[in-house]
Amino acid sequence: MSRFRGVVAAGHPLTAGAGAEVLREGGNAVDAAIAAVLASFVCESPLTGLGAGGFMLVHSPSSNELIDFFCAAPGLDGAELGAELVGVPVHFDETTNQVFYVGAASCAVPGNPAGIEMAARRHGSAPLDELAAGAARLAREGVVVNAVQAYLFEILESILTRTPEGAALYAPGGRPLREGETFVYPDLGDALERFGAEGAEPFYRGEIASEIDAWIRGRGGVLGLLDLERYRPVEREPARVSFRGAEVLTNPPPSSGGILVAFALGLLERLGEGSDLGRVVAASEAANASRGEEFDAGLRSDGFAERFLAAERLDEVAEQIAAGGWIGGPGAPGEGPAGRLGSTTHISVLDAEGMCASVTCSNGACSGEIVPGTGVHLNNMLGEEDLNPGGFHRIPPGLRVPSMMSPTAVLRDGRVALALGSAGSNRIRSAILQTALRVIEDGMPADEAVRAPRIHSEDGTVQAEPGVDPEGLDRLEARGVPVVRWPHQNLYFGGCQAVVLDPSSGQVSGGGDPRRGGAVALA
């Protein structure tokens, strides 16, 4: 019987398979995560890529580290915008429409090449060129479009095809590629091969950086050479909270999502055994209510996570909930689904030595700006309303754009019991929270926990998938909480990828979210 080497959960079967292949060849969890991330640039385009940003949480038996390589605001050389954000309507279905803001003015400094290189240097064991080779081959040979990717190509058509470069890539026959057809991106194959050979240098200080500068500045954007030259990934200490005898590690400030997940878990810890529907809604709404101008400003101050998650503060809010507060939240009732699509993808990896890598990357909704000959499709983080609460183009140059992305790991006695993360913009928090509850409290294996029905509570309204406790939903409605019952599972509720190690049995399991085409590969 072959030796177990690890498990990978990701947003596409080929993404997960790329990571598992590295594990079979003797690579560690970070090696596998890097190979999977690079494969996702092809298989899960346009969710991520060389023009995107992200975070990687790494746990090893000797250390815990969060590598922040998310996008930064450009304009360090004082450049002024020469173009406006372009509003593009996206039609999710016949009744749900949303405007996304794209174009050169929406492009922030990408972080993926620099962050992946740092992870490989600090924690990897395999040569970068070997890790990139499989993804480069996929880009050149092509990937068969699956149902989830076909749906994304369809609903994002107005962004993906707004330029000739995008139309040639995503709609080569004059319409978006459909399920069963082949997506080919030769320029990305060349770029991945170059990344494997030279690392991040060409993308920040070399030829490709110059091409990005000329392309975006020529279209009125702010992103330029100085922004790229000065970009650096940052090593951070994970935010921490205790829950049911375990230690939860997640994304710290200046990102917001991780500490909001930790805040909700800290409240549920104090509300007694068992997190029923009412308690989950109350904790979620209390976390929502904690956001505001003071919260946004605090994210960039030293020690904010410790103050925000202080035991005294959690005790106080938990007492308010226990006294009947927060059920339904303080927000005005909504009428239906709200929030962004969340063009994000997550990968979770656990290896046989106990190392895990939990990595989330995002290209926003894409900018539509594909720099010819470089394989770089730039993000639209400066045009994402959720990430710019104070208004567009108000983040000072060089500072990170805020993010809800929350790669997370749960430790028991210093060993990984669960690693997870999600796509889904504001629903990232609720997807991670509920999946973690199913594993930690209910003892579910990863696949069952990921597939379990979810809710999302925001602005005083609870969105619920089929299968959520009907009596619990009735009780919420009896207390005046609007409830929207969805007829089926939907990618609105996130895309959570999780790996689990059962401490009692030693069994390992993985869960790929069916809402976004997730898959699991064992090595």
Per-residue confidence (pLDDT) for residue 323, from 0 to 100: 87
What pLDDT digit, counting tens, does each position of 327-370 carry?
A: 544 433 344 444 455 578 999 999 999 999 999 999 999 999 99
| 68 and 148 inside one domain | yes
Per-residue confidence (pLDDT) for residue 503, from 0 to 100: 80
Cα(497)–Cα(335) distance, integer angstroms: 29
| 266 and 357 inside one domain | no
Report the Cα 148 to chain-centroid distance in Å. 17
Cα(250)–Cα(64) distance, integer angstroms: 10
Cα(156)–Cα(179) distance, integer angstroms: 15
| 26 and 127 inside one domain | yes
Which residue matches tokens 């019987």?
A: 1
pLDDT of 101 higher than 80: yes
Tell me whether residue 40 is in a domain. Answer: yes
What pLDDT digit, counting tens, does each position of 12-29 carry?
A: 999 999 999 999 999 999
Tell me whether residue 434 is in a domain. Answer: yes
Peptide bond into 254 cis (omega under 30): yes
Tell me whether residue 77 is in a domain. Answer: yes
Amino acid letter, residue 59: H
Closest CA to 361 of 23, 77, 55: 55
Residue 128 in tokens = 């970068």
Tell me whether residue 220 is in a domain. Answer: yes
Q: How many separate domains does the chain show? A: 2
Bigger pLDDT: 338 vs 507: 507
Element (H, E) at 126: none
| 53 and 129 inside one domain | yes
| 86 and 225 inside one domain | yes
| 349 and 321 inside one domain | no
Q: Alpha-carbon Rg of the chain, whole angstroms?
A: 21
| 323 and 442 inside one domain | yes
CB atoms within 10 A of CB 398: 16
Per-residue confidence (pLDDT) for residue 95, from 0 to 100: 61
- So which residues are the catalytic ones? 344
| 41 and 134 inside one domain | yes
Per-residue confidence (pLDDT) for residue 98, from 0 to 100: 75
- Provide, rounded to the nearest whole percent, the portion of the chain with pLDDT above 90: 86
| Averaged pLDDT of the chain | 93
| 283 and 168 inside one domain | no
Instruction: Kindly state the average pLDDT of the residues 299-309.
Output: 94
- Provide, rounded to the nearest whole percent, the portion of the chain with pLDDT above 70: 95
CA dihedral of 290, 294, 295, 296, whole degrees rounded to 10: 140
Burial annotation 182-206 (CB, 10 A radius, 16+ → b, else e): ebbbebbbbbbbbbbeebbbbbbee
Residue 475 in tokens = 């009780």
Question: Domain of 294: which CATH number?
Answer: 3.60.20
DSSP letter for each residue of 469-499 = -HHHHHHHHHTT--EEE-SS--GGG-EEEEE
Domain around 351: 6-235+344-387
Q: Helix 13-24 to helix 29-43 angle, to the nearest 10 degrees? A: 150
Tell me whether residue 520 is in a domain. Answer: no
Per-residue confidence (pLDDT) for residue 114, from 0 to 100: 98
CB atoms within 10 A of CB 214: 13
Per-residue confidence (pLDDT) for residue 96, from 0 to 100: 60
Per-residue confidence (pLDDT) for residue 355, from 0 to 100: 96
CB atoms within 10 A of CB 458: 20
| 101 and 229 inside one domain | yes
Residues 6+ apart with CB under 8 A from 436: 243, 248, 261, 265, 408, 410, 418, 420
Which residue blocks in 171-235 are alpha helix, DSSP H? 186-198, 201-204, 207-217, 225-230
Tell me whether residue 279 is in a domain. Answer: yes
DSSP-derived 3-state class of residue 139 = helix
Cα(425)–Cα(482) distance, integer angstroms: 22
Between strands 344-351 and 356-362, the pairing is: antiparallel
Tell me whether residue 478 is in a domain. Answer: yes
| Residue 89 pLDDT level (bands cut at 50, 70, 90) | confident
Cα atoms in the 13 Å half-sphere on the side-chain side of 341: 26
Instruction: Kindly state the average pLDDT of the residues 42-65.
Output: 96
| 359 and 322 inside one domain | no
Instruction: Kindly state the average pLDDT of the residues 143-153.
Output: 94
Residue 384 has what DSSP assignment?
A: -
DSSP-derived 3-state class of residue 85 = coil
Per-residue confidence (pLDDT) for residue 426, from 0 to 100: 85
pLDDT of 415 higher than 80: yes
CA–CA distances in Å: residue 148 to residues 15, 152, 153, 311, 491: 14, 6, 9, 42, 9
Which residue matches tokens 């709404």?
A: 285
Tell me whether residue 514 is in a domain. Answer: no
Return the sign of the alpha-carbon dihedral for residues 372, 202, 235, 296: negative
Peptide bond into 46 cis (omega under 30): yes
| 426 and 497 inside one domain | yes
